[in-house]
């Protein structure tokens, strides 16, 4: 029985949100996780928005599933607004 090779990669990007005077009023964190194997890939992207106190304001989570040819076969998404 052949062993499937699975590769996992993650990229995290953090951006500050500033007001017109340059004061930081929040942050956006974009986290992308990719898992790839012989039969396709799964991509999960989570975007979190935080206020200046570090409280979660909103979150979006999207999961895409691709077949071995790179065709999108399924997508699930959810937006959560905290406050």
User: Does residue 31 belong to any structural domain of this protein?
Assistant: yes
Q: CA 26 to CA 5: how far, in whole Å? A: 40
Q: Residue 61: what pLDDT?
A: 95
Q: For residue 2, is pLDDT > 70?
A: no
Q: Residue 1: what pLDDT?
A: 42
12: exposed, middle or buried (Cβ count in 10 Å: 0-12, 13-18, 19+)? exposed
pTM over 0.85: no
User: Does residue 69 belong to any structural domain of this protein?
Assistant: yes
Q: Are strands 56-67 and 40-51 parallel, antiparallel or unpaired?
A: antiparallel
Q: Print the domain residue range for 65.
A: 26-81
Q: State residue 24 phi and psi, 5-degree precision.
A: -75, 125
3-state secondary structure of 69: coil
Q: CA 32 to CA 30: how far, in whole Å? A: 7
Over residues 19-67, the pLDDT tens digits come to 999 999 999 999 999 999 999 999 999 999 999 999 999 999 999 999 9
- Look at the chain and report how many structural domains it folds into: 1
């Amino acid at each position: 029985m052949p062993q499937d090779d699975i590769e996992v990669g993650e990229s995290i990007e953090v951006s500050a949100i500033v007001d017109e005077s340059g004061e930081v009023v929040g942050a956006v964190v974009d986290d992308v996780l990719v898992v790839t194997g012989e039969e396709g890939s799964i991509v999960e992207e989570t975007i979190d928005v935080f206020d200046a106190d570090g409280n979660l304001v909103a979150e979006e989570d999207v999961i895409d599933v691709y077949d071995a040819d790179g065709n999108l076969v399924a997508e699930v998404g959810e937006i959560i607004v905290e406050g």
